[in-house]
Amino acid sequence: MPMCASKTRQHKSYWAQQLFHCIEEMAQLNTNAVLLTLADVDVVESGRSYPDEGLMFANKRWRAFYHCHEAATQHENEHGHFHIFTEIGEQEWAHAAGLAIDDSGQPLHWFAVNRWVTDGPWLDRVQFIQQLQATTDNEQDSLAGRWLFALLRLHQSELIDMFQSRDKQLRSHPDHLQHAVALEDRNIYTLAIEKIELQAMLEKNLLH
Amino acid sequence: MKRKQSRIIIGTAISAAAIAIAVDHTRQRLPEPEITVASQDAVIIIDEGDELPVDNAGDCSKPDRPGRQASPCSL
């Protein structure tokens, strides 16, 4: 990769442009990332993950699926959410973030879940940053995959804040000295939330 | 100077509008999910004559054999 392209990717404006291109492509098709992910699905079933094989992106180093829970376990105004994982070893996937989506396919907020929710290895904040910066976008990825990765990179700072809030929340757990106990506490599903203001974020990084 | 300023404002407004229009076109109603009666964890093929497996997949009360339900959002 040329040096200048690599440097460009460190800037939020690059990811804002990539995201906007994805949105423009979707707009032309009157669709969004969730509808694209559910394109071959006749009936959406709660609790089931789509697509079956997972949505791979960013040179297959990142992977996501979309699903809906029954209403009682959903966040407010949420239709469903993407769970986004990153490969941290040979076929070893760690959960990086959840992305809540409203019923018109728009991103509502990022969220961090407790370890028991997604199983697998626990991703710390430093690892998350390294994973995000070590991978780059791939034009061959699906439109939904490119949209997800651009959204992740554009919100890198906000996601780092979310990881800090998540860790702070865990430290306030009565069993915080026994880290493993807190991570398996079935009473705690969501540990942190970071709101998404898509329009404002795009304007801030494309127009200013 | 006054004219130039107006032009910048108009240019910015158009770009902001372009973002709003594009985002708005992606606002498309998602299909209502149907609640599944029972989830299927895996397909198990049992040869004729073999014993049936113990049916405790998804039983969170048995931590030594956690099923998929133990981690509802795992890969």
The secondary structure of A37-106, three-state, reads HCCCCCCCECCCCEEEEEEEECCCCEEEEEECCCHHHCCCCCCEEEEEEEEEECCEEEEEEEEEECCCCC
- CB atoms near residue A7 (< 10 Å): 10
* Residues of chain A above pLDDT 90, percent: 74
Q: CA A67, CA B34: separation in Å to the nearest integer?
A: 12
A56 has pLDDT over 70: yes
Q: CA A30, CA A24: separation in Å to the nearest integer?
A: 10
Query: Average pLDDT, stretch A118-146?
Result: 93
Q: How many CA atoms lie within 13 A of A197 on its CB side?
A: 5
Q: How far is CA A156 from CA A10, A17, A128, B65, B74, in A?
A: 10, 15, 10, 37, 23
pLDDT at B47: 55
Best residue in B24, B25, B26 for a mutation probing chain A (most A CBs within 10 Å): B26
Residues A63, B75: C-beta atoms closer than 8 Å: yes
pLDDT at B65: 34
Residue A67 backbone phi and psi in degrees, to 5: -155, 165
- Chain A residues in contact with B19 by the CB 8 A cut-off are 20, 199, 202-203, 206
Number of helical (H) and strand (E) elements in chain A, helices listed first:
9, 6
Residue A69 CB contacts under 8 Å (≥ 6 apart), including other chains? A46, A47, A80, B72
Q: In what order do the strands lie in the sheet with A80-89?
A: A50-57, A62-67, A80-89, A92-101, A107-113, A190-195
pLDDT at B69: 56
Query: Average pLDDT, stretch A160-181?
Result: 89
Q: CA A192, CA B1: separation in Å to the nearest integer?
A: 49
Closest residue of chain A to B35, computed from CA coordinates: A46
Structure tokens at B68: 């998929």
pLDDT at A208: 75
Mean pLDDT, chain A, integer? 91
- Chain A residues in contact with B36 by the CB 8 A cut-off are 45-48
Pick from B28, B70, B72: CB nearest A105 = B28
- Chain A residues in contact with B60 by the CB 8 A cut-off are 186
A190 has pLDDT over 70: yes
- Chain A residues in contact with B72 by the CB 8 A cut-off are 47, 69, 117
Q: How many CA atoms lie within 13 A of A160 on its CB side?
A: 11
Residue A188 backbone phi and psi in degrees, to 5: -115, 115
**A67 vs B: CB within 8 A:** yes
The pLDDT tens digits of the residues spanning A81-106 come to 999 999 998 889 999 999 999 999 99
Query: Average pLDDT, stretch A145-153?
Result: 97
Using 50 as the pLDDT threshold, list the residues of chain B that sit under it. Answer: 1-13, 39-44, 52-68
Q: b/e string for B55-70 if b means 16 or more Cβ within 10 A?
A: eebbeeeeeeebbeeb
The pLDDT tens digits of the residues spanning A22-38 come to 999 999 999 999 999 99
Q: What angle do CA A192, B57, A100 make, to 5 degrees?
A: 25
Q: CA A153, CA A137: separation in Å to the nearest integer?
A: 10
Q: CA A171, CA A2: separation in Å to the nearest integer?
A: 43
Q: Is A114 helix (H, G, I), strand (E, B) or coil?
A: coil
Residues B74, A63: C-beta atoms closer than 8 Å: no
- Chain B residues in contact with A79 by the CB 8 A cut-off are 30, 33
pLDDT at A4: 54
Residues A106, B27: C-beta atoms closer than 8 Å: yes
Query: Average pLDDT, stretch A168-189?
Result: 86
User: How distant is the Cα of A127 from the closest Cα of chain B, in angstroms?
Assistant: 19
The pLDDT tens digits of the residues spanning A62-78 come to 999 999 987 655 677 89
Q: CA A14, CA A20: separation in Å to the nearest integer?
A: 10
Cis peptide before B31 (omega within 30 of 0): no
Indicate the pLDDT class of residue A179, thresholds 50, 70 and 90.
confident
Strand partners, A107: A101
- Cβ-based burial of B35 (10 A; exposed 0-12, middle 13-18, buried ≥19): exposed
